[in-house]
Amino acid sequence: MSRAATPQWTLDELTARVGDALAVGYQGQRNGQVTDVPNLRTIRYYTTLGLLDRPSEMRGRTAYYSPRHLQQLVAIKRLQADGLTLQQVQERLAGITRARLAELAQLPTELPSPAQKAHSRRDGAFWAEDSPPAPVTAAPPVQLVTLPLHSDVSLSITASRAPSPEDVAAIRLAAQALLDELKKRGLLSKEEP
């Protein structure tokens, strides 16, 4: 008896499936500060933050994603629509069970396959290529800032502005206790920046 293979999607295909899943029972973001449907860059950012699992498989330079990734992304967007910050979303998703993730994601029981979507396009249905694009909500200006703290440690933060030299000095001072603990545990090399 052979077990059915788990579906795998490229990043572009995953993004399309997230859009399909959010087309059902999703009112979008209320605060206008985040995009309704994550784009490729946002998905990579969520992976960097640990909100989204790393790709389930790599074939050459192409990453492949599973239904769990789809559930994670849809759950993230639904939680954000409820007003949660990314930090709160991360806390809510940390160590979550499969069943609870499925509850949060609220995926439709059946999403159209790429073949079904292509057929619908030919029939002039909802998925028609000439449909107007969904409005994109502008996000507030933020930037990912990475501060080297040690040759082995960098701190990445999403900031609403570039940190001043005083900010950098205060952050490095505050991080010193963490660096000392990492050194004590033998987790850092002897080099320092």
pLDDT digits (tens, 9 = 90+) for 85-119: 889 999 999 888 999 999 999 888 766 555 455 44
State the residue for tokens 């920046």.
Answer: 193
DSSP 31: S
pLDDT digits (tens, 9 = 90+) for 121-134: 444 444 444 444 44
**Residue 10 is encoded by which pair of tokens?**
């490229």
Alpha-carbon span 34 to 28, nearest angstrom: 9
Ranges of each domain in the chain: 11-122, 143-184
| CB-CB contact of 15 with 67 (8 Å) | no
pLDDT digits (tens, 9 = 90+) for 56-72: 999 999 999 999 999 99
pLDDT digits (tens, 9 = 90+) for 161-189: 777 888 888 888 998 998 888 889 888 87
Indicate the average pLDDT of the chain: 78
Q: Please give the class, per CATH, of domain 11-122.
A: mainly alpha
Helix (H, G, I), strand (E, B) or coil at 7: coil
Q: Strand runs (DSSP E) across 18-163, as ranges?
A: 57-59, 62-64, 143-150, 153-159
